[in-house]
């Protein structure tokens, strides 16, 4: 299970894959932006994404804290009308 003090490292690891991670919906949730990648790009980073999930474990108990951290570092966006592939809906799940 992910600890709150791991949030900055988690965000850094996600961004290093080339995936955008942003807070949305008033800073109450976050999106793991792997759906913004092309299918080829996603296949290239999928092993890294899976490794991040294994490294940090469950994080659904930290959704608000992760979103707050993202807002604090300027990583936020308005909610999107269409989110693309459903894989984006990793809102806090490993």
Are 66 and 33 spatial neighbours (Cβ–Cβ below 8 Å)?
A: no
Q: Is residue 74 part of a domain?
A: yes
**Total tally of structural domains belonging to the chain:** 1
Read off the pTM: 0.76
Beta bridge pairs of residue 23: 30, 76
Q: Is residue 93 part of a domain?
A: no
Query: Residue 55 is part of which domain span?
Result: 4-88
Higher pLDDT pick, 41 / 4: 4
- pLDDT of amino acid 84: 44
Longest dimension (CA), the chain: 33
Q: Is residue 94 part of a domain?
A: no
Q: Is residue 25 part of a domain?
A: yes
Q: Is residue 44 part of a domain?
A: yes
Q: Is residue 38 part of a domain?
A: yes
How many C-beta atoms lie closer than 10 Å to residue 22's C-beta? 18
Residue 89 has pLDDT above 70, yes or no: no
pLDDT in tens, 22-75: 888 666 788 776 666 788 888 888 899 999 999 999 999 999 999 999 989 988
């Amino acid at each position: 299970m992910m600890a709150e003090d791991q949030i900055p490292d988690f965000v850094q690891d996600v961004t290093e894959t080339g995936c955008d991670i942003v807070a949305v919906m008033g800073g109450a949730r976050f999106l793991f932006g792997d759906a913004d990648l092309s299918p080829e790009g996603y296949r290239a980073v999928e092993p890294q994404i899976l490794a991040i999930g294994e490294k940090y474990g469950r994080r659904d108990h930290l959704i608000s804290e992760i979103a707050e951290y993202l807002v604090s570092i300027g990583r936020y966006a308005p909610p999107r009308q269409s989110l693309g592939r459903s894989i984006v809906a990793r809102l806090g799940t490993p």
